[in-house]
Amino acid sequence: MYFESHAHYDDNRYDKDRDELLSSLPSFGIDYVVNAGIDLYSSEYGLALADKYDFIYAAVGYHPHEVKDLTEEKFKELKELATHPKVVAVGEIGLDFYYDNSPREQQRRWFKRQLDWAAEVDLPVIIHSREAAQECFNMIKASKVRRGVIHCYSGSVEMAQEYIKMGFYIGIGGVITYKNSKNLKNVAKEIPLDRILLETDCPYLSPRQVRGQRNDSKNLQYVAEEISKLREIDTENLVSITKNNAKALFFKESN
């Protein structure tokens, strides 16, 4: 039923009940999960989860917060992980000029390196962009990457349309359930349905209905319900469309 396009089940907030939670997800209609890496450790952990659970797949990459610790040796190890058959994307990669946890020049350097690598191995990318919208867009456009998702999208409708023209999808999560998310609601209303992916970014960004609680993939229902209201379509139909969208991106298929 649901395709969770962005989760972080390697996070230590799941240490006490991870197996119990993950084992229960299929009974809540979660058919697929992509666990996104933020560094070498989380990428390895995500791949271990993918090996353990049939419905989990892994993305491997270095988040802009973490590239300050990225070395050539670690990058080599990351590349080796991507040869695993359950690795479906390079990510989460990008630019974050809000927190600046890594120096900006390092962010730019490793973002470009990871984009180039994704193009070489023909994997889609999962993009993190915060307070760096235009520069992130420009770097992707200058690269050879033409498949991916802009995770936790926060930009304009116009930029979303430009990403879509390049072959990208737009990831929408729990933020859309809040009343002050007018810009994201407009994006969800205006872009083509066949370019929307559902995500939670769990354990972060819980929807309004479970605000303050640890997020998980079961809460995709609230994201889907909000988008279906905005688009005036049946929620089940919206879920089916977004599931096929994610399969087309990560599995190169649409059915």
- What is 203-224 written as a DSSP string? TSS--GGGTTSPP-GGGHHHHH
Asked if the model's pLDDT at residue 36 lies above 60, the reply is yes
Is 34:88 a contact under the CB 8 Å cutoff? yes
How far is 252 from 36, CA to CA, in rounded Å?
18
Q: pTM for the whole thing?
A: 0.97
255 assigned to some structural domain: no
Q: What's the number of domains the chain is made of? A: 1
Q: What is the pLDDT of residues 75-91, one digit of tens each?
A: 999 999 999 999 999 99
* pLDDT at res. 252: 75
84 assigned to some structural domain: yes
146 CB-near residues (< 8 Å, 6+ apart): 166, 167, 168
Mean pLDDT computed over every residue of the chain: 97
Amino acid occupying residue 79: K
33 assigned to some structural domain: yes
Asked if the model's pLDDT at residue 107 lies above 60, the reply is yes
* pLDDT at res. 255: 39
The model's confidence at residue 148, banded by pLDDT at 50, 70 and 90, is very high
Amino acid occupying residue 162: E
How far is 57 from 145, CA to CA, in rounded Å?
21
90 assigned to some structural domain: yes
Q: What is the pLDDT of residues 114-128, one digit of tens each?
A: 999 999 999 999 999
183 assigned to some structural domain: yes
DSSP helix/strand/coil, 150:
strand
Q: Which two tokens stand for residue 59?
A: 């993305």
Asked if the model's pLDDT at residue 22 lies above 60, the reply is yes
The model's confidence at residue 254, banded by pLDDT at 50, 70 and 90, is very low
* pLDDT at res. 77: 98
CATH number, domain with residue 76: 3.20.20.140
Strand partners, 169: 149
What's the whole-number mean pLDDT along residues 161-186?
98
Q: Range of 205's domain?
A: 2-250
